[in-house]
């Protein structure tokens, strides 16, 4: 197995695979582990260091595997334990780590623990879950589940309700029960011993919930539990551990990602992905992107964790829309805007995460409701229907925000079903696969894929990207996203407030400076940083030619480097 440095993940590029939609090896229409093994060389060529693997465990698939019925085995639809071991070994041979998703907030209602728990109030497993007495038809309170409907479900056998934060088939575990935690830690050690490189922790911020006090995230016991888990389960020092935390702020990020290693490596913050939906992160009410807030938010995170935490950098995952359809233009300027969005993100400090297909500029889908599979989308459709939303408005919200935007099958080539499967795919392939696919892009130097590859290479070549300071430029500009990264003596110059000029390295030459300038929109505009750019070298540009000096073309993005 690869030996990794303790903080290898600071320079790493992590690629998220959603196994169901990645590559189907046996024609049953569902992506699987042998399919992932086939594509390892593709991932290697992109420059990937590790794969975050969404759940592959035994599961009735009510939430595509985020409802686990056996944590210690592979679901037959994805393959066998032997396949998974082969994946770990084959990835390792290429210097790629495997980072499984851990879903510890809830299990499936078909997990052995829950089957026992609901059989009798005196079963030792009963207290593994969260129960309330009550009467059938009279809910304990009006708490709602994140995927629609009440958060309580009645079980006649025990004459009680159980709590589920997500779907009915996802009962929440009772983290206050020390036996539950020990069982989970033991399971985690099982996977550590299999040779994984780390873990992604699903809804980590909910572990300390105290629902009677209406505390769903950031409960008083959250960080003590994580520290306990670090001690007892994350028994190797070189594991990448990343928590999914919709509620994280700078203060809690400094706990999750404490550089003393007492908790996790880092936590995903979603603040930058809440700026085009209504207050309260209401995804079904999309609004235009608040662009200046986007810049300020990202700058706040860049500057807020220096020396006291670590950032995650990402535009996509399996729960959110495709970024090119979201913040870019998936029509005329699809390739340009997809590359621009990469150029803006990849120059920042943090661990970079890419979601499958993002490197091709894959777009959102717009299907009729029958083609959607996601439980939260289907529940929303029903509920909004009952609330009287007109059909058009419901579908517009779904087209913009459904999680299935990210879950349509990976587009490998222009053969039927995009080369994803030889059978009938579990979800319809985006019809644009004939133009947008990996085969068309890997050999094309002007493709989105090639831009991703080049930006990843540059990230690894320039230490300033991992270590330099960050300075947001033109925060009030309505169209330009620009910032400067500085390392060494130049960084000192910056701190002394001389950042206005190009050559503040004062001749020492030990510093390194990268300037990222991007036009976030589709109109040609004057380049407000033209003066700064003089004398700098172009490292990357998302257009083949230089264009006109002093002007930024639609979605044009450039990385400049000090000479």
Specify the DSSP element, H or E, that contains 241: strand 240-244
DSSP assignment of 148-182, as one string?
SSBSEEEETTTTEEEE-SS-TT-PBB-TTSHHHHH
Q: What residues from 126 to 165 belong to the interface with ligand TEU (CB under 6 A)?
A: 146
Q: Which one from 244, 471, 527, 532 is the annotated catalytic residue?
A: 244
Examine the residue annotation and report whether 210 is marked as an active-site residue of this protein. no
- Whichever of 253 and 558 has its CB closer to ligand TEU, that residue is 253
- Whichever of 24 and 244 has its CB closer to Ca ion, that residue is 24
Task: Tell me the CA distances in angstroms from 295 to 156, 242, 245, 498, one per residue in order.
Answer: 52, 23, 20, 22
Residue 283 binds to ligand TEU (criterion: CB under 6 A): yes
Residue 32 binds to Ca ion (criterion: CB under 5 A): yes
Q: What residues from 222 to 281 belong to the interface with ligand TEU (CB under 6 A)?
A: 244, 246
DSSP-H helix ranges across 462-541 = 463-467, 489-495, 530-533
Q: Which one of 56, 166, 199, 355 is in contact with ligand TEU (CB under 6 A)? A: 166
**Contact by Cβ (8 Å): 128, 113:** yes
- Whichever of 28 and 92 has its CB closer to Ca ion, that residue is 28
Site string for ligand TEU, 183-212 (x = CB under 6 A): -------------------xx---------
Choose the contact partner of 202 out of Ca ion, ligand TEU, none; CB within 5 to 8 A by kind: ligand TEU
Examine the residue annotation and report whether 532 is marked as an active-site residue of this protein. no
Choose the contact partner of 63 out of ligand TEU, Ca ion, none; CB within 5 to 8 A by kind: ligand TEU
Choose the contact partner of 246 out of ligand TEU, Ca ion, none; CB within 5 to 8 A by kind: ligand TEU
Choose the contact partner of 26 out of ligand TEU, Ca ion, none; CB within 5 to 8 A by kind: Ca ion
**Contact by Cβ (8 Å): 106, 205:** no
- Whichever of 202 and 454 has its CB closer to ligand TEU, that residue is 202
Choose the contact partner of 32 out of Ca ion, ligand TEU, none; CB within 5 to 8 A by kind: Ca ion
DSSP-H helix ranges across 273-361 = 291-304, 323-326, 334-346
Distance CA 284, CA 514 (A): 38
Q: Which one of 103, 155, 340, 536 is in contact with ligand TEU (CB under 6 A)? A: 103
Task: Tell me the CA distances in angstroms from 528 to 173, 347, 376, 499, one per residue in order.
Answer: 54, 19, 43, 16
Distance CA 47, CA 454 (A): 9
**Contact by Cβ (8 Å): 505, 493:** yes
- Whichever of 16 and 349 has its CB closer to ligand TEU, that residue is 16
- Quote the crossing angle between the two packed helices 391-401 and 375-386, to the nearest 10°: 160
Residue 481 binds to ligand TEU (criterion: CB under 6 A): no
Q: Which one of 2, 10, 28, 189 is in contact with Ca ion (CB under 5 A)? A: 28
- Whichever of 31 and 357 has its CB closer to Ca ion, that residue is 31
Residue 30 binds to Ca ion (criterion: CB under 5 A): yes
- Identify the burial level of 308 via C-beta atoms within 10 angstroms of its C-beta, where 0-12 means exposed, 13-18 middle and 19 or more buried: middle
Q: Which one from 49, 67, 202, 330 is the annotated catalytic residue?
A: 202
Torsion 167-168-170-176 (CA) sign: positive
For residue 355, what are the β-bridge partners? 16
Q: What share of the chain is helix, strand, coil (3-state, %, to 5)?
A: 35, 20, 50
- Whichever of 91 and 145 has its CB closer to ligand TEU, that residue is 145
What torsion, rounded to 10 degrees, do the Cα atoms 549, 553, 556, 559 define? 10
Q: Which one of 26, 303, 450, 466 is in contact with Ca ion (CB under 5 A)? A: 26
Choose the contact partner of 319 out of ligand TEU, Ca ion, none; CB within 5 to 8 A by kind: ligand TEU
Choose the contact partner of 283 out of Ca ion, ligand TEU, none; CB within 5 to 8 A by kind: ligand TEU
Residue 63 binds to ligand TEU (criterion: CB under 6 A): yes
Residues engaged in binding Ca ion (CB under 5 A): 24, 26, 28, 30, 32
What are the residue numbers of the active site?
202, 244
Residues engaged in binding ligand TEU (CB under 6 A): 63, 66, 103, 146, 166, 202-203, 244, 246, 283, 318-319
């Amino acid at each position: 197995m690869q030996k990794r440095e303790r903080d290898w993940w600071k320079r790493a590029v992590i690629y998220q695979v959603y196994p169901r939609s990645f590559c189907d090896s046996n024609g049953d229409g569902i992506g699987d582990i042998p399919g992932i093994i086939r594509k390892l060389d593709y991932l290697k060529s992109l420059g990937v260091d590790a794969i975050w693997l969404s759940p592959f465990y035994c599961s009735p698939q009510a939430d595509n595997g985020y409802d686990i019925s056996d944590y210690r085995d592979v679901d037959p639809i994805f393959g066998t334990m032997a396949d998974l071991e082969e994946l770990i070994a084959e990835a390792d041979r290429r210097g790629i780590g495997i980072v499984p998703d851990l879903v510890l907030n809830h299990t499936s209602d078909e997990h052995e623990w829950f089957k026992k728990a609901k059989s009798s109030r005196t079963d030792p497993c009963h207290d593994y879950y969260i129960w309330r007495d009550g009467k059938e038809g009279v809910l304990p309170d009006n708490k709602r589940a994140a995927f629609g409907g009440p958060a309580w479900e009645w079980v006649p056998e025990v004459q009680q309700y159980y709590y589920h934060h997500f779907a009915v088939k996802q009962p929440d575990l009772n983290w206050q029960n020390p036996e539950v935690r020990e069982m989970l830690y033991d399971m985690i050690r099982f996977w550590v011993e299999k040779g994984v490189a780390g873990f992604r922790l699903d809804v980590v911020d909910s572990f300390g919930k105290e629902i009677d006090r209406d505390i769903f995230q950031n409960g008083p016991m959250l960080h003590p539990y994580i520290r306990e888990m670090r001690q007892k389960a994350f028994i190797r020092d070189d594991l990448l551990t990343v928590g999914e935390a919709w509620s994280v702020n700078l203060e809690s990020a400094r706990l999750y990602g404490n550089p003393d290693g007492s908790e996790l490596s880092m936590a995903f913050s979603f603040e930058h992905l809440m700026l085009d939906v209504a207050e309260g992160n209401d995804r079904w009410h999309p609004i235009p992107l608040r662009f200046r807030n986007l810049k300020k938010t990202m700058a706040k995170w860049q500057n807020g964790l220096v020396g006291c935490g670590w950032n995650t950098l990402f535009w996509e995952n399996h729960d959110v829309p495709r970024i090119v359809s979201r913040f870019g233009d998936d029509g005329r300027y699809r390739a340009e805007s997809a590359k621009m969005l990469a150029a803006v993100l990849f120059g920042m400090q943090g661990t970079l995460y890419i979601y499958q297909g993002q490197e091709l500029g894959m777009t959102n889908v717009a299907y009729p409701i029958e083609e959607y599979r996601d439980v939260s989308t289907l529940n929303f459709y029903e509920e909004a229907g009952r609330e009287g939303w007109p059909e058009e408005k419901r579908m517009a919200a779904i087209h913009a925000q459904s999680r299935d935007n990210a879950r349509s099958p990976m587009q490998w080539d222009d053969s039927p079903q995009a080369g994803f499967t030889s059978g009938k795919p579990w979800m319809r392939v985006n019809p644009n696969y004939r133009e947008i696919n990996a085969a068309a892009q890997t050999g094309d130097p002007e493709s989105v894929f090639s831009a991703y590859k080049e930006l990843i290479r540059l990230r690894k070549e320039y230490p300033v990207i991992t270590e330099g300071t960050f300075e947001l430029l033109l925060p009030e500009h309505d169209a330009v996203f620009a910032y400067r990264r500085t390392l060494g003596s130049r960084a000192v110059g910056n701190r002394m407030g001389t950042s206005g000029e190009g050559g503040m390295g004062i001749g020492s030459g030990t510093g390194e400076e990268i300037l990222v300038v991007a036009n976030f929109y589709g109109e040609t505009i004057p380049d407000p940083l033209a003066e700064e750019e003089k004398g700098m070298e172009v490292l990357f540009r998302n257009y083949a030619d230089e264009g006109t000096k002093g002007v930024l073309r639609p979605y044009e993005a450039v990385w400049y480097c000090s000479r």
